[in-house]
Structure 1
Amino acid sequence: MNSCTILRSVLLSLNTSWVSNQRRWIRSAPSLYRTAGHTSNTTVHHSEATLGKLRSLNRQFDRRLRSVYQRYADGPDHTVFQGSHHVYIVEGCGIYRMGHTEEEQDMVQVFHTDCAGDVEGTIQRVRLSATESILAATAKNSHKEEAKCVVIRLDNHNAPQKPMLILDNVFSFEWASDDVLVYTTQEGLQCRHVFRLHLTNTGNQSELLYEEKDPEFFVEVSRSRDQRLLTINCSSKKSSEVWLIDSKCPFSPPTQVQPRQPGLLYHVEHSNNLLYILANTGTGHEYQLLRAPLSSPAMQHWKPIFSPGPGAVIKDMEMLQDHCVITGREPQGQLQLQSISLKSPDHGTVLQLPSWACAVETQRIGTVDKDTFSFLLSSPVHPPIRYHLSPAHQRPLSREHAFQHQHTLLTECHTTRLQAASQDGTMVPMTLFHMKALADLSEAPLLVHVYGAYGLDLNMSFSPEKRLLLEDNWTLAYCHVRGGGECGVSWHRAGCLQQKMKGVEDLSACIQTLFQSGVSQPALTALTARSAGAVLAGALCNKNPHLLTAVHLQAPFVDVLGTMQDPSLPLTIEERGEWGDPLTNPQDRDNIASYCPCHNIVPQLYPSMLITAYSGDSRVPLSGVLKYVERLKKAIQTHTSSSSRLPIKGNVPTIMLDLQPGNDHFGPEDFDQSVSETAQQLAFFYTVLGLEYKGSQQKMRGKRKRTIKNMTIPCQFPHHMIGQINMRT
């Protein structure tokens, strides 16, 4: 993501839980769960046949997933970046480098967290000073929200360097010059302070540069692509504000671009003493590209130079020397690049991307080629391929050579874009991935994905486990419901606050449209969602449980009402722009109560659920998850008890609570733990949907017996974004 990306850079993990991989993934103890501050002595019984199948499938999927990950291990690596004199590689807890003309065997380690005392975890972000004399990097343990920043002086020694300085609780940072580092500190989940660190021969001096007073705003620093400006970006759910630091005078006070005002969102880049601004000042309050003199940056000097066509939206921009490259989406959801000449903005070139492309990842860490935009294209089932865009060339768009198996696999997959008519007539886009023809999918298992919050797009970058499901003839459906960001700013606003139920209606319409189109059936349908996506998933389960058979919720935000009524929690105040304020606004309270998953559970047969929660998650309180599980269990018990003399239609659902230790919301970074958790998720889907798994092939069983299964299986699982650091993603 570049410095003026519409949505803040997010922390992505491969999967979503942390716990020792030495532990058994299913616990045979009788208690449902036991954790600090909450104990249940509920005794449950479970089918040994079900548990046996889960264990067996877990082992099989673990082996196969490792093979699938290995198959794609040679793809392009975004952890490699260029310096002025060296190539740098980030790998786990270490940073390595080699000369531009050297081979990989000449690579040497310049830093490892083992050399930094109490610094631990994996490397998150790296920044080189202008002359490549000093490096700054953050390292973060998955059990912690906060990261430590190490500052290392680079020299010609071929040995790991000890940090010259360690800074605590650093979120974002950039070099203003070779001896000036500007950084933000994170307190809990909030960033409100910006500091300027001056490195001198006689000592290091740090001073407060900016302090944010409004608790609804989050602050980070970034740098323009031409390295000229540092930007202090202050953002809330409703507005934004940017301050500038000129690297030519790094000790001068920051200058304000445009004071914040309600409803105005904007982001800033720079080229040739001109500011290029993405702001939601276009038709329908969508983003358009404007520019203004660096010397006169306020809004009255903004001049529009590009606006997308009807139904199209801008997602990001990248500044080259003489061109601006706009990443956008067409009305049907197709990604598109548009190159705009800075000298003649009326002359733009549309660069059509492959039909399967769903995710763009900018590659620009370290030294930047001013004339070329490098990026990775991928989809959930298409491995990333690196492209280069050089607008001044006769053939501006080129693709790096892809390793052989990509060529064969890409042609076998269908990417289909559909629309569903929601309850109010709004057309909701969907993206489908499938191996068989659309007309042959009625018996195919279906995995539905949803998010629909904060104006964020669904994560559609490559996932080897999704490729595995595709090869097993699953259909993967991504529902771009209101509340997300796929269709622009207005799409988000149409699904937040008082309109949050629109996202639930959209999701229901998407699933029903798939069935009506001949894609799968309820008995073969699973839904997956994480964090705030669980609001829509949980609300759908309360309203239309018959549409689904299996549901997987990761770090689920299911007690919206309880959470938003507690201002002591770190995100409550900041997220009032998304959910409302039930403490002071009765209308907001009634609205949240109408869809909150935890407060609308009724006695009925729910889909079987696997719920993963984290005991110390500071974004999603564990108390809300435990309350949700208890109410689900009680509702199912009530329903089955009252129906004891009547035929039960379908199997009684299995509710599995996977309670993990630790306080990280995003999940494991350890490869073994990630693979193990993914294997468990797949084993759950196959077991609940009644699918036979035989290597790379699966088929339906014969007619299943309609027997009452156990309602709750106690479990302990042993042991990826795009979510903003200050939200439930």
Structure 2
Amino acid sequence: MSHVDSVPAAPQTPKIPTLRTHHGDTFRDDYEWLREKEDPTVVAHLEAENAYAEAVTADQAPLREAIFDEIKARTVETDLSVPARKRGWWYFTRTAEGSQYAIQCRVAATDTGDLEVDWTPPAIEAGIEIEGEQVLLDGNKEAAGKPFFSLGGMAVSEDGTLLAYAQDNAGDERFTLRIKNLTTDELLTDVIENVFYGLVFSPDGTRVYYTVVDDSWRPHQIKAHTLGTDPDTDTVIYQEDDPGMWLGFDLSADRTELLISIGNSEYSETLTLDLLNESAQPVMLISREHKILHTVDPVTLNAERCYVITHDRDALNNMVSLLRADQLTLPYAQQRWDTVIEHRDTVKVEGTASTATHLIIAVRKDTTERIAILPLANLGTPEQQEPVEPSFDEELYTAGLANAELDAPMIRLSYTSDFTPARVYDYTLADGTLTLRKQTQVNDYDPSNYLATREWASASDGTKIPLTILRRKDVTKTTPQPVLIYGYGSYEASMDPGFGIPRLSLLDRGVVFVIAHVRGGGELGRAWYLDGKKLTKKNTFTDFVDATTYLIDSGWADPARIVALGGSAGGLLMGAIANLAPQLYSGIIAQVPFVDALTSILDPELPLSALEWEEWGNPIEDADVYAYMKSYSPYENVAALPYPKIAAVTSLNDTRVLYVEPAKWVAKLREETTGTAPIVMKIEMDGGHGGASGRYEGWKTRAWDYAFALDTLGLNSEGA
């Protein structure tokens, strides 16, 4: 009996009709009942889905194990980060072979007066503790006996004696805040439940600032907790009541101001709180009423407080301006915003950071992220110097700021490309010297065996779509190849070059891995994003289909062996292309897929729904948006089509894309498909939006996805 013959029938999903009516349109939803997460019938159904997925993919188990073993073998498991100096200490992480989680450590820094010596990281050896080394937090001990572990933030007090940290043990991104005395290694009695990402100590170490989410999982409050007091009495520093606005905070480089940011994808607001004054109230810097999307970086120039603002005020791709504090008392129209970086059509400014002497500017040019450095001297004046960009020897790479301390003579940069494992550089601000501090080691890997190239597909409207094509050097398009094509295309997120060990297991089996940089992402600036959101969202989907067609027409792809992959909003993309062009794909993998988008966004009580209106439009109030979304939302558009082999991968405790979306979608696909290919759902019962926690579990998840892809592409020799 063959494996296919031995697979049991797919779970039968009962139909319990629910009617949803908006703008005179009624939609019958037979599977909405699957939303009742605590219902034993729903749980039993999900368990049955897991059993079916396991049965369908049973012959992939040896391949999954092989991929996992390859990832493990290539990974230098006992490793450490490059120490970063912060306020008298060198902070770093260790990972040990056999351990799932990192260990957070530090060792005291010394000051000799020689800046180069004092800012050269200490030599840390894997597995060898150095004199004076202190363990701040061991993730493995914290995770022991718990189904899930993730850190949502860590902060050390200014004097280095206290550690605040937040951990999630369910995967729902609701964290418990605890505080540890680093002198005695004991936990304080302060325990605060249900906090969100981000933690900051007050300069005197007596208070901790944190955020809280509302019932829809939107961060809506910033609170201050005074150590030793009842958390129920914590002070609300700021509350944001607009359901369509996201709240967060950051710390100024000199750690004296808490910058409160409120915003969505189209405009924002910034207030500042003086942390040196316990009775201070937030002060408005830039109001949302001006409809400017911006970020703010406080600096001090010639003893005067100023604000470096990255903004889209008459600048689609952003520009950088300098606003002096004395201008804040003037009406907005009368304020003087001195230009630091002019707007450019071909360069997107992503934001800034600062030291006491330099401004660091993150820019996106020629699709890739890079760094420019500019002295603060004469900033915003005609005497201002030109920015300097560190040069690297690859065309497609990602360079970003890893750390910038106020008084540091150098900044820490991260660097990677598709076939260059992560590097850590220190950039000396005085003379531009780049010092390589670490090259991540990868076992059994020779980068010269692989190639990353850029090609451009043509969309149906003539738009050129950038494609990143990754392959072994000996794989060419003289013969059509098996292809895995990946896409995202939402929220202005860019799919930047970055090294990944798991991907090598695909490439070494002859797969061409293609990243389609479709509209809705940010690779080609703000216009690229705007042309793939709201009422132009369908460009994201048609771009992906056109990119796939290009791969066939150009000779890269074997038309019978193409698998598509995407997650979250990229999962919506997978659902859309399954409906648009199922014949192009032999398989589709949708990770935590946003495939029931219209149902979710129509309910403002669901997690994050109201925040999505700025990305997709508001279908509750706008009939045109409703009609447009209904015309592409994957679940509503499942039809009698020959769907290919499909895997929906999700997690029970995901709060960003609820498990019910892929559960409903899979049921509807099975009901409607005219094909015979299996459609499965794998659900992680103890995971969140990123799946199960721990690096080994993460490798297993990736191995599952890649084994499914390889099997679909006819490359499962282990399971033959």
TM-score relative to the length of structure 2: 0.82
CA spacing shift, 1:169–1:193, aligned 2, 3 Å? same
- Partner Cα distance (2:144, 2:708) in 1: 41
Q: Secondary structure at the match of 2:579?
A: helix
Query: Does 1:336 pair with 2:364?
Result: no
Deviation at 1:430, TM superposition (A): 1.9
Q: Partner of 1:389 in structure 2? A: 427
Q: Secondary structure at the match of 1:165?
A: strand
- Partner Cα distance (2:285, 2:173) in 1: 31
Q: Partner of 1:87 in structure 2? A: 91
Q: Secondary structure at the match of 1:595?
A: coil
Asked whether the 8 Å contact 2:299–2:356 carries over to 1, the reply is yes
CA spacing shift, 1:592–1:476, aligned 2, 3 Å? same
1:350 aligned to 372, 377, 389, which one?
389
Deviation at 1:50, TM superposition (A): 6.8
Deviation at 1:240, TM superposition (A): 0.7
Q: Deviations over 1:261-298 (max 9, x none)?
A: 36411111122122111111253x22111111134347
Q: Secondary structure at the match of 2:242?
A: coil
- Partner Cα distance (2:701, 2:230) in 1: 50
Deviation at 1:431, TM superposition (A): 1.8
Q: Secondary structure at the match of 1:588?
A: helix
Asked whether the 8 Å contact 2:207–2:226 carries over to 1, the reply is yes
Asked whether the 8 Å contact 1:180–1:198 carries over to 2, the reply is yes
2:313 aligned to 281, 302, 321, which one?
281
Deviation at 1:28, TM superposition (A): 6.7
Asked whether the 8 Å contact 1:539–1:596 carries over to 2, the reply is yes
Q: Partner of 2:199 in structure 1? A: 173
Q: Partner of 1:411 in structure 2? A: 448
- Partner Cα distance (2:8, 2:83) in 1: 43
2:695 aligned to 671, 674, 685, which one?
671
Deviation at 1:406, TM superposition (A): 8.6
Which stretch shows the higher mean deviation, 467-476 or 86-95?
A: 86-95
2:360 aligned to 312, 321, 325, which one?
325
- Partner Cα distance (2:294, 2:145) in 1: 39
- Partner Cα distance (2:237, 2:547) in 1: 48
Q: Partner of 2:485 in structure 1? A: 448
Q: Deviations over 1:580-622 (max 9, x none)?
A: 2222211011100111111112222222111112234333233
Query: Does 1:63 pair with 2:89?
Result: no
- Partner Cα distance (1:355, 1:607) in 2: 38
Deviation at 1:400, TM superposition (A): 2.7
Q: Partner of 1:477 in structure 2? A: 514
- Partner Cα distance (2:415, 2:445) in 1: 17
Q: Deviations over 1:377-406 (max 9, x none)?
A: 12344311012222321x433323536669
RMSD: 3.5
For structure 1, the 5+ residue unaligned runs are 1-26, 641-651, 696-700, 702-729
Aligned positions, number = 649
For structure 2, the 5+ residue unaligned runs are 1-5, 14-33, 96-100, 111-121, 379-383
Q: Partner of 1:645 in structure 2? A: none
CA spacing shift, 1:401–1:180, aligned 2, 3 Å? closer
- Partner Cα distance (1:93, 1:691) in 2: 34
Asked whether the 8 Å contact 1:522–1:546 carries over to 2, the reply is no
Letter of the aligned partner of 1:479 in structure 2? A
Deviation at 1:569, TM superposition (A): 0.8
Q: Partner of 1:683 in structure 2? A: 707
Asked whether the 8 Å contact 2:150–2:168 carries over to 1, the reply is yes
Report matched runs for 1:435-514 at 5 Å: 435-436=472-473, 439-440=476-477, 442-458=479-495, 460-514=497-551
Q: Secondary structure at the match of 2:160?
A: coil
Deviation at 1:466, TM superposition (A): 1.3
- Partner Cα distance (1:529, 1:241) in 2: 32
Asked whether the 8 Å contact 2:455–2:468 carries over to 1, the reply is yes
Deviation at 1:245, TM superposition (A): 1.8
Q: Partner of 2:600 in structure 1? A: 563
1:243 aligned to 249, 261, 271, which one?
271
| Higher RCO structure, 1 or 2 (CA under 8 Å, sep 6+) | 1
Q: Partner of 1:609 in structure 2? A: 646
Deviation at 1:231, TM superposition (A): 0.6
Asked whether the 8 Å contact 2:74–2:445 carries over to 1, the reply is no
Letter of the aligned partner of 2:306 in structure 1? L
2:11 aligned to 32, 38, 41, which one?
32
TM-score relative to the length of structure 1: 0.81
Query: Does 1:313 pair with 2:313?
Result: no
Q: Deviations over 1:170-198 (max 9, x none)?
A: 22221231223222112341111111233
Q: Partner of 1:519 in structure 2? A: 556
- Partner Cα distance (1:694, 1:633) in 2: 28
Asked whether the 8 Å contact 1:545–1:607 carries over to 2, the reply is yes
- Partner Cα distance (2:568, 2:418) in 1: 19
Q: Secondary structure at the match of 1:350?
A: coil
Asked whether the 8 Å contact 1:430–1:477 carries over to 2, the reply is yes
Deviation at 1:498, TM superposition (A): 0.5
- Partner Cα distance (2:498, 2:346) in 1: 23
Deviation at 1:257, TM superposition (A): 0.5
- Partner Cα distance (2:207, 2:53) in 1: 63
CA spacing shift, 1:117–1:169, aligned 2, 3 Å? farther
Q: Partner of 2:414 in structure 1? A: 376
Deviation at 1:676, TM superposition (A): 1.9
Q: Partner of 1:163 in structure 2? A: 188
CA spacing shift, 1:77–1:665, aligned 2, 3 Å? same
Q: Secondary structure at the match of 2:253?
A: coil
Report matched runs for 1:181-192 at 5 Å: 181-188=208-215, 189-192=217-220
Which stretch shows the higher mean deviation, 162-171 or 367-376?
A: 367-376
Q: Partner of 1:364 in structure 2? A: 403
Deviation at 1:164, TM superposition (A): 4.2
Query: Does 1:293 pair with 2:358?
Result: no
- Percent identical residues: 20
- Partner Cα distance (1:201, 1:58) in 2: 51
